[in-house]
Chain A
Amino acid sequence: MTMSTLTAPGTAAEAGADAPDPARLRRRRALAQWGFVAPAVVFMLLFFGYPLVRNVVMSFQHYTPKTFFTGEAPFNGLDNWSTVFHDALFGKALWHTLVFTAGSLLGQFCIGLALAVFFSRRFPLNGVLRSLILLPWLVPMVVSGVVWRRVLDQDTGVLNSFLGTIGLGGDTPWLTSPGMALLSVILVNIWIGIPFNMVILYGGLQEIPKELYEAASLDGASAWRTFRSITVPLLKPVITVVLVLGFMSTVKILDLILALTDGGPADATQTLGTLTYQNSFVQLDFGAGAVVGNVLILISAVFAVFYLRANRPEGK
């Protein structure tokens, strides 16, 4: 309040001395503002808006390799949608996507939080260890996938030989049994996601004032109580961010699964991401691929709304 009342006259006076016409000045200022916004708007429309709209339109079209030559893609109503929804694989893929996302987030978040809490204490080599844990994040997804595929090989994999050496069987069909493959893929994705969760949560923990913990310890609160009543509530905004961002990068998973199992064995690791890929780029049925893509976008959009709501400043 005070600020604006004090500023206004000053600005007006200055501007008045410079340009006598306030309307012209306002227009120019508006133009400048639009000048700054325009690149972002054009960028968004071109690279996000246009593909999004195209994808929705495409899902109602008979879009085949021929379309690329003729430019003609006749509308076929809900044909693509009904084909996809009647395909048994779609239900399976949807289920796998949900299990994969929930499992990955749960694992990544819990372990990430535990590590963040652990590293927020001071001890020797803290920094070194913390940076080592970041490694999975730095390795490209496809490289992780290829390496893990070798590690998890049933006969020659390092993991099974290790388990065998310590007397824990060592014949686990990690990626070769349809009952096991989804779990293995989730485990690998948890390994990949831990650093991201840890880093963000660690940052959040640093923001919590130390005095609160001192007060709690003076009050004789147990470690668990302190964690529940101070750490978790104060970390809540960060937790929401981590979970929503994690959700959005997990639900669309493709590269990791292609590298690990190619959606197999027997479609046990088909997700919406791999199904879109298969429809569009193997079968070249772009309409059907677009349908699955839209479902994926819709799911992400729902969570984006949650994210925006959770991030809304208090009191608004």
Chain B
Amino acid sequence: MTAHPPGPARGGRGRSRRAVAPLAAVTVLIAGAALTGCGSQRDDDVYTVMNSSTDETYHRWDEEAMGRCGEQLGITIEQQSVPAAQVMTKALRMASSKSLPDIVQFDASEMPTFAEADGLVDLETLGLSTADIPEGIVDFGSYEGTYYGAARSVNTLALFYNEDILAEAGVEIPTTWEELRETARRLTEGKRYGLALSAGGAEDGVFQFTPFMWSNGGDETKLDSPEVVEALDYWKSLLQDGSLSKSTVNWTQADVNDQFMAGNAAMMINGPWQVETLNSDESLNWGIARIPVPEAGDDSVGPLGGAVLTVPRTGDEDRQRMAGRIVACLAGEEEQLTYALNSWMVPANEKAAAVWRERVPELDSLADQVAAARSRTAKLGDGWPGVSLALQSAFQSALTGQSSQDALTRAQQRATSGN
């Protein structure tokens, strides 16, 4: 074996002197970059809105609206879009690093969480008026009586039906639970189900369950009440009849729309945000109606959905005031109408809604449903996510075999125990 000296030792001195400095520099640089984070400098005339408009169309509509408002106010408004599920966690992270945007658009069911943390500015102190907004929609943007979120448009659920299939079978549009059950049974044929809805294990499923729970007089504060049990039993009966696919428990609302469009379902429960997609198939003749109620004459109470514009507490009063003016512009009558006509949602403002009804008569029943709709967080505020998780688990258990009473009793226990 020949002996050769280990590499570094030979040129030890010269090499190490040259190597140490850059290495140390790199180390310091990495550490420095990681520790300082990204504290961006705010530009005086540039305001940022964070929203979840990641779809190309929505992003463009918002871009245009922000352009118009920016011009009117003499500022530049930048849009920052993140996936809907990340708006809350991203905003929280920004709050802890003191880099909140000037305006955040939250899903209305998430807003109370941020408001509870004392992170939002009361919009009325910024000069926003609630004069032309129906009470239900003011509540929708409020937490504990304070108006934190201005809705541009709202949506809710309705019954969509395939006109051709209904006409062929010679059936009327159902208005009561009994009629819906009967119609769905008659329209189920071969591979086609009478009805499609989402009972998936996420907020989608809960959103879809609420009109059944609420129209029957049930309520999220008492999940094991007879009214909620009855509503869940009604869902079970549809499944037992074979009018609903067994995959219902695994479907999101987008899946439900796919099934409806593919002709695998004659009717579906869904929202107006699907209209854009539905209209992309010209051979599909669809109609829309209010969600059937337990007994004729009952009120059809659906859930209010949609996002609200909020002004987070950044500590800079001047910027907050300007942010308030931006919200006022974006949620103003004119912009609301433009946005609603684009997105097929219903304007929050009464005057804008009246014009919208004339322009989109085919969605008239949706406007009626919105007028009677309720916010999910009105009663529970930031307690809603926990109850929602318990409820998801309950209806999935019930639809896959358990009794509705047992499933909901357990859900109520879980919701009360706070986990």
Q: Is the A/B pair a real complex?
A: yes
Give the B-binding residues of A (Cβ under 8 A): 2-3, 6-7, 10-11, 14-15, 18-19, 25, 28-29, 31-32, 35-36, 38-39, 42-43, 46, 64-69, 71, 83-84, 86-89, 149, 153-156, 173, 175-178, 261-267, 278, 281-285, 288
CB distance from A26 to the nearest CB of B (A): 10
Tell me, in angstroms, the Cα distance from A155 to B264 when the chains sit together: 10
- Whether A284 contacts B96 in the complex (CB less than 8 A), given A18-B13, A32-B16, A39-B23, comes out as no
- Contact present for A154 and B400 (CB under 8 Å): no
Contacts of B419 on A, CB cut-off 8 Å? 83-84, 86-87, 89, 283, 285, 288
B19, B113, B248: which contacts A65 (Cβ < 8 A)? B113
Contacts of B10 on A, CB cut-off 8 Å? 11, 14
* 16 additional A-B residue pairs with CB within 8 Å, beyond A38-B24, A69-B96: A2-B3, A7-B5, A11-B5, A15-B13, A29-B12, A32-B20, A39-B30, A68-B96, A69-B117, A84-B419, A87-B414, A154-B245, A154-B246, A178-B401, A267-B393, A288-B419
- Contact present for B17 and A28 (CB under 8 Å): yes
| 0/1 interface trace, chain B 260-273, chain A, CB 8 Å (1 if under) | 00101000000000
- Contact present for B26 and A39 (CB under 8 Å): yes
Tell me, in angstroms, the Cα distance from A265 to B3 when the chains sit together: 68
- Whether A46 contacts B245 in the complex (CB less than 8 A), given A29-B16, A261-B250, A266-B402, comes out as no
A31, A43, A261, A285: which contacts B30 (Cβ < 8 A)? A43
Asked if B211 is at the interface of the complex by the 8 Å CB criterion, the answer is no
CB distance from B125 to the nearest CB of A (A): 18
CB distance from B13 to the nearest CB of A (A): 6
Tell me, in angstroms, the Cα distance from A7 to B30 when the chains sit together: 37
Shortest Cβ distance from A7 into B: residue: B5
- Contact present for A278 and B389 (CB under 8 Å): yes
Tell me, in angstroms, the Cα distance from A178 to B246 when the chains sit together: 12
Contacts of A264 on B, CB cut-off 8 Å? 200-201, 249-250, 392-393, 396
- Contact present for A69 and B5 (CB under 8 Å): no
- Whether A265 contacts B24 in the complex (CB less than 8 A), given A11-B5, A28-B17, A83-B419, comes out as no
CB distance from A5 to the nearest CB of B (A): 8
Asked if B169 is at the interface of the complex by the 8 Å CB criterion, the answer is no
- Whether A71 contacts B96 in the complex (CB less than 8 A), given A14-B10, A35-B19, comes out as yes
Give the A-binding residues of B (Cβ under 8 A): 1, 3-6, 8-10, 12-13, 15-17, 19-20, 23-24, 26-27, 30-31, 34, 85, 88-89, 92-93, 95-96, 113-114, 116-119, 191, 200-202, 245-250, 259, 262, 264, 313, 382, 385-386, 389, 392-393, 396-397, 399-402, 414, 417-419
- Whether A64 contacts B117 in the complex (CB less than 8 A), given A35-B20, A155-B246, A261-B201, comes out as yes
Contacts of A43 on B, CB cut-off 8 Å? 30
Tell me, in angstroms, the Cα distance from A39 to B191 when the chains sit together: 62
Chain A to chain B contacts (Cβ below 8 Å), 21 pairs: A15-B12, A18-B13, A19-B13, A32-B16, A35-B19, A35-B27, A38-B23, A39-B23, A42-B27, A46-B34, A68-B92, A69-B117, A154-B247, A176-B246, A178-B401, A262-B202, A266-B396, A281-B85, A283-B419, A284-B92, A284-B113
Tell me, in angstroms, the Cα distance from A166 to B34 when the chains sit together: 59
Contacts of B9 on A, CB cut-off 8 Å? 7, 11, 15
The B interface is mostly helix, strand or loop, or mixed, namely helix
Nearest 7 A/B pairs, CB to CB = A264-B201, A32-B16, A6-B3, A35-B23, A266-B397, A266-B396, A66-B117
Most buried by B among A65, A68, A149, A281: A65
- Contact present for A3 and B26 (CB under 8 Å): no
Contacts of A265 on B, CB cut-off 8 Å? 201, 249-250, 396-397, 399-400
CB distance from A280 to the nearest CB of B (A): 8
Contacts of B92 on A, CB cut-off 8 Å? 65, 68, 284
A46, A178, A262, A288: which contacts B400 (Cβ < 8 A)? A178
Tell me, in angstroms, the Cα distance from A66 to B119 when the chains sit together: 8
- Contact present for B13 and A25 (CB under 8 Å): yes
Tell me, in angstroms, the Cα distance from A193 to B419 when the chains sit together: 34
- Contact present for B264 and A176 (CB under 8 Å): no
Shortest Cβ distance from B4 into A: residue: A7
- Whether A39 contacts B201 in the complex (CB less than 8 A), given A155-B191, A264-B392, comes out as no
- Contact present for A282 and B389 (CB under 8 Å): yes
Contacts of B116 on A, CB cut-off 8 Å? 65-66
CB distance from A39 to the nearest CB of B (A): 5
- Whether A262 contacts B5 in the complex (CB less than 8 A), given A154-B246, A176-B249, comes out as no
CB distance from B3 to the nearest CB of A (A): 4
- Contact present for A156 and B264 (CB under 8 Å): yes
Contacts of A175 on B, CB cut-off 8 Å? 247, 250
CB distance from B251 to the nearest CB of A (A): 9
CB distance from B256 to the nearest CB of A (A): 13
Shortest Cβ distance from B35 into A: residue: A46
Shortest Cβ distance from B397 into A: residue: A266
Contacts of A278 on B, CB cut-off 8 Å? 389
Tell me, in angstroms, the Cα distance from A31 to B12 when the chains sit together: 11
Tell me, in angstroms, the Cα distance from A87 to B386 when the chains sit together: 13
Contacts of B6 on A, CB cut-off 8 Å? 7
Contacts of B247 on A, CB cut-off 8 Å? 153-156, 175-176
Contacts of A284 on B, CB cut-off 8 Å? 88, 92, 113, 385
A6, A14, A46: which contacts B31 (Cβ < 8 A)? A46
Tell me, in angstroms, the Cα distance from A96 to B39 when the chains sit together: 42
Tell me, in angstroms, the Cα distance from A264 to B92 when the chains sit together: 27
Most buried by B among A14, A84, A176: A176
Shortest Cβ distance from B92 into A: residue: A68
CB distance from A56 to the nearest CB of B (A): 19
CB distance from B314 to the nearest CB of A (A): 11
CB distance from B328 to the nearest CB of A (A): 25
Shortest Cβ distance from A84 into B: residue: B419
Shortest Cβ distance from B201 into A: residue: A264
Contacts of B4 on A, CB cut-off 8 Å? 7
Shortest Cβ distance from A157 into B: residue: B247
Contacts of B30 on A, CB cut-off 8 Å? 39, 42-43
Contacts of A71 on B, CB cut-off 8 Å? 96
